Amino acid sequence: MKTPGLSIAQKLYLALFIAVATASMPVFFFVQWQTGLPVALSAMCVGALVLRMLTRKLFAGLQALESGLLNFKDSDFSTLLAYQKEDELGRLCRLYNEAAQQLRDEKQWIYQRELMLDKVLHSAPQALLLTDDKGIVVFSNHSAKTLLNCEHNLEGMKLDSLAQKASPVLYNVLADEMDGLFELPEKGEEKQTWHLSNGELLLNNQFHRLYIFKQLTRELNRQEVAVWKKVIRIISHELNNSLGPISSMLHSGKILANKLEDARLERVFSTIDERIRHLTEFVQGYGKFAKLPAPRLQPVVLPELLAQLQTQWQFSFTKSGVLTAPNQLLADAPQLEQLLINLIKNAHESGSDVDAIKIEVTFQTKHVLLRVLDSGLGMSEHIMANALIPFYSTKASGTGLGLALCREIVEAHHGDIHLKNRQQGGLCVEVRLPLTIS
pLDDT tens profile 234-293: 777 677 777 777 777 777 777 766 776 666 777 777 777 777 777 776 666 666 666 677
Query: Which SS3 state, helix, strand or coil, does residue 401 take?
Result: coil
Least confident of 25-39, 53-67, 258-272: 25-39
pLDDT at 58: 66
The pLDDT confidence band at residue 46, using thresholds 50, 70 and 90, is low
Structure confidence at residue 358 as a pLDDT band (50, 70, 90): very high
Longest dimension (CA), the chain: 165
Per-residue CA distances from 251 to 59, 240, 255, 277, 283 (Å): 113, 17, 6, 13, 20
Per residue in 90-143, pLDDT (tens digit) is: 788 888 888 888 888 888 888 888 888 888 888 888 888 899 888 899 888 888
Assess whether pLDDT exceeds 70 at residue 407: yes
Sign of CA dihedral 85, 89, 95, 96: negative
Please give the pLDDT value at position 359.
92
Residue 144 has pLDDT above 70, yes or no: yes
Q: What is the mean pLDDT of the chain?
A: 78
**For the chain, what percent of residues have pLDDT higher than 90?**
5
Q: Is the pLDDT of residue 36 over 60?
A: no
Q: In 100-255, where do the E strands start and end? A: 127-131, 137-140, 180-184, 192-203, 206-215
Task: Please tell me which residue, 371 or 324, carries the higher pLDDT value.
Answer: 371
Handedness of CA 31, 37, 42, 43 (dihedral sign): positive
DSSP 311: T
Predicted confidence band at 16 (pLDDT cuts at 50, 70, 90)?
low
Q: Which long-range contacts (CB under 8 A, 24 or more apart) does 351-358 make?
A: 351/376, 351/377, 352/376, 352/426, 354/314, 354/315, 355/316, 356/426, 357/314, 357/315, 357/316, 358/315, 358/316, 358/317, 358/318
Q: What is the pLDDT of residues 408-417, one digit of tens each?
A: 888 888 888 8
- The number of CA neighbours under 13 Å toward the Cβ of 394 is 15
Bridge-partner residues for 140, per DSSP?
129
Give the integer Cα–Cα distance in Å for 315 and 373. 10
Q: What angle do CA 323, 328, 334 make, to 5 degrees?
A: 145
Q: Calculate mean pLDDT across residues 192-210.
A: 85
For residue 391, the model assigns a pLDDT of: 65
What is the percent of the chain with per-residue pLDDT over 70, rounded to a whole number?
73
Query: H helices within 314-401, ranges in order?
Result: 333-348, 381-386
Short-list 217, 414, 224, CA closest to 329:
414
How long, in residues, is the chain? 438
Look at residue 430 in the predicted model and tell me its pLDDT. Answer: 92
pLDDT at 1: 45
What's the pLDDT at 15? 67
Stretch among 23-32, 148-157, 234-243, 311-320 having the lowest mean pLDDT = 23-32
Closest-CA residue to 329 (of 368, 295, 360): 368
Sheet bearing 127-131, strands edge to edge:
137-140, 127-131, 206-215, 192-203, 180-184
Q: Per-residue pLDDT for 394 more than 70?
A: no
